[in-house]
Chain A
Amino acid sequence: MSEEAQTEEIPNSTRDLEIDDEKELMIEDLDLWYGDKQALYGVSLPIAKNSVTALIGPSGCGKSTLLRMMNRMNDLIPICHYDGKISMGDVEITGKDADLVEIRKKIGMVFQRPNPFPKSIYDNVGYGVKLHFKPTREELDAIVEKSLKRAALWKEVADRQHELGTSLSGGQQQRLCIARTIAIEPDVILMDEPCSALDPIATAAIEELILELKKDFTVVIVTHSMSQAARVSDYTGFMYLGRLVEFDKTEKIFSDPDNELTKRYITGRFG
């Protein structure tokens, strides 16, 4: 059976998109294409404020694509075009004349591979702050320190802030990227498999950090690890072949999913 024919039979989540918590982001009926290959089919999804939403699903199902839509990172790919609406309060993120700088200030992103700037640890965190807020030297020092503390990195780098960010270990680099993101005080932090390049100890540190972060930020995380989704998230969306098959509270998805595909995926009987 061709992939095209297959996708026709996969239902989008029919659950109505009302959630108990206050909504931070609202994705409505999003279609997306790379060239003439469709990667997302009518995805609708609410993102709850001050909570962690996990996106799970097999490789190539469109998790990263959906995540990168939320801060318009896909605009960097020339062949990518889309249809549908993402809004944040009354700001329309997918709007034609949306202010991308403002959006990315409000919606930060942590990538799969830690990618600190080839600058000092201090400048890595301070760069975005300087860009947006023009702080004085003392203010900047304070923001950098606070951000490194919130990213649970301060103890390790307090006396080596002027060394290169790229000289840290992988896990430290990833926390540095988190510090760089939260320094700008966004409302939402998007994380695309933030632990996939890290060892179990560094992973545990990041997971703990995510639980800490959700007090102040809304977190959306893409992960391949079922157990990670279960541990850190409040809501989970299961995607398959470009569709959001099921979306619900994490306990519900992992204990009693409605959809047969979801059940097979979370129990590892998939493919």
Chain B
Amino acid sequence: MWSSMLLVTSTLFIPLEIYIPFLTERYQDIFSPYSSGIRAAFYGTIWVMLIAMISSVPISVGAAIYLEEYAKPTKTTKLIQALVTNLAGVPSIVFGMFGLAIFVKQGGIGWGLGPSILAAGLTMGVMAMPIIVLASQEALRSVPRSLRESAYGVGCTQWQVTKDHVLPSAMPGIMTGSILAMSRIMGEAAPLVVVGATAMIVFDPEPLAGLLGGNVNFTVIPIQIYFWTSEPDPAWHAMAAAASISLIALLVAMNSIAIVLRQHFRRRLN
């Protein structure tokens, strides 16, 4: 606990002249660790997260609204609910296998996106879905009944109640849940090893290469860390440590955004 807090605060004292180049400098080659940066991995992480967010948040929030507000409590609903709850606990490597079968491979049910950022983002999106659904349901459930009643009382239809009243007041919870899901998948390496992230990337990743053709190779920060720690030259180990700190800094930044957003919305609502 204390050590992690120390680590997090210490990242704040790294001067930006070191920080920024480390994030934006390219990987050079295997013999020059100290002039390498994590540019490709940094961009890769950002793109994977963006794609994961775009592909998972709307569907998941929609599913949560359906389950929480519309679905009648039938056997099927209960089954779906149980599945979602269990999916949230499935090991990440299993999602990696799923992504490999559906998004990466060509033929059968495969979409044939190759080992690309797009496939990685979609895989991570699928992994984030159950987490976002559960967090959103929780947020919807905590909207007070009095708010729904007052909305029905002025003659709202169910959809108007949901869209004008319930959803806005559940928004802080939904956003926090989504961002926390994103920061969780940001740290995952296992599923992307399966999907086919590589390590020694010199060029900036192309996010749509899987679809449009081009260079599909990509990497993300956790994978970069993993590969660097397995190099024999100890200089790379120091680089891996630096990359870890960057990853933690990114996580702290995301969680801070979640906190700021929540405070902002809470102030607006009260």
Residues of B within 8 A of A180 (CB): 150, 154
Structural contact, A131 and B149, CB atoms closer than 8 A? no
Structural contact, A104 and B154, CB atoms closer than 8 A? yes
- Tell me if B79 counts as interface (CB < 8 A to partner A): no
Structural contact, A131 and B155, CB atoms closer than 8 A? yes
**Residues of B in contact, count (CB < 8 Å):** 21
Residues of A within 8 A of B150 (CB): 111, 115-117, 177, 180
- Tell me if B147 counts as interface (CB < 8 A to partner A): yes
Interface residues of B in 73-106 (CB under 8 A from A): 73
Choice from A105, A116, A118, A131 contacting B160 with Cβ under 8 Å: A131
Given contacts A71-B153, A104-B154, A104-B155, contact A117 B165 (CB under 8 A): yes
Structural contact, B146 and A115, CB atoms closer than 8 A? yes
Most buried by B among A73, A116, A131: A131
Most buried by A among B147, B148, B155: B155
Residues of A within 8 A of B242 (CB): none
Given contacts A111-B146, A166-B270, contact A117 B155 (CB under 8 A): no
Residues of A within 8 A of B160 (CB): 131
Choice from B155, B157, B164, B269 contacting A184 with Cβ under 8 Å: B155
Given contacts A117-B165, A131-B160, contact A108 B154 (CB under 8 A): yes
Tell me the bound Cα distance from A109 to B154 in angstroms: 8
- Tell me if B156 counts as interface (CB < 8 A to partner A): yes
Residues of A within 8 A of B73 (CB): 78
Against A, the Cβ 8 Å flags (1 = close, 0 = not) of B154-178 are 1111001000110011000000000
- Tell me if A132 counts as interface (CB < 8 A to partner B): yes
Interface residues of A in 75-113 (CB under 8 A from B): 76, 78, 101-102, 104-105, 108-109, 111, 113
Q: Which residue of B lies closest to A78 (CB)?
A: B73
Structural contact, B149 and A127, CB atoms closer than 8 A? no
Residues of B within 8 A of A104 (CB): 152-155
Q: Which residue of B lies closest to A112 (CB)?
A: B146
Structural contact, A115 and B157, CB atoms closer than 8 A? no
Tell me the bound Cα distance from A128 to B153 in angstroms: 9
Q: Which residue of A lies closest to B150 (CB)?
A: A115
- Tell me if B151 counts as interface (CB < 8 A to partner A): yes
Q: Which residue of A lies closest to B160 (CB)?
A: A131
- Tell me if A181 counts as interface (CB < 8 A to partner B): yes
Tell me the bound Cα distance from A127 to B160 in angstroms: 11
Given contacts A131-B160, A166-B270, contact A115 B149 (CB under 8 A): yes
Q: Which residue of B lies closest to A110 (CB)?
A: B153
Interface residues of B in 33-84 (CB under 8 A from A): 73
Choice from A115, A128, A131, A177 contacting B147 with Cβ under 8 Å: A115
Structural contact, A111 and B155, CB atoms closer than 8 A? no
Residues of B within 8 A of A166 (CB): 269-270
Structural contact, B169 and A118, CB atoms closer than 8 A? yes
Q: 10 A-B pairs, CB-CB below 8 angstroms?
A: A73-B153, A101-B155, A101-B156, A104-B153, A109-B149, A116-B150, A117-B165, A131-B156, A132-B155, A180-B154
On A, residues with C-beta under 8 Å from B are 71, 73, 76, 78, 101-102, 104-105, 108-109, 111, 113, 115-118, 127-128, 131-132, 164, 166, 177, 180-181, 184
- Known A101-B157, A115-B150; 11 more pairs at CB < 8 Å: A101-B156, A104-B154, A111-B146, A113-B146, A115-B149, A116-B150, A117-B151, A127-B154, A166-B269, A166-B270, A184-B154
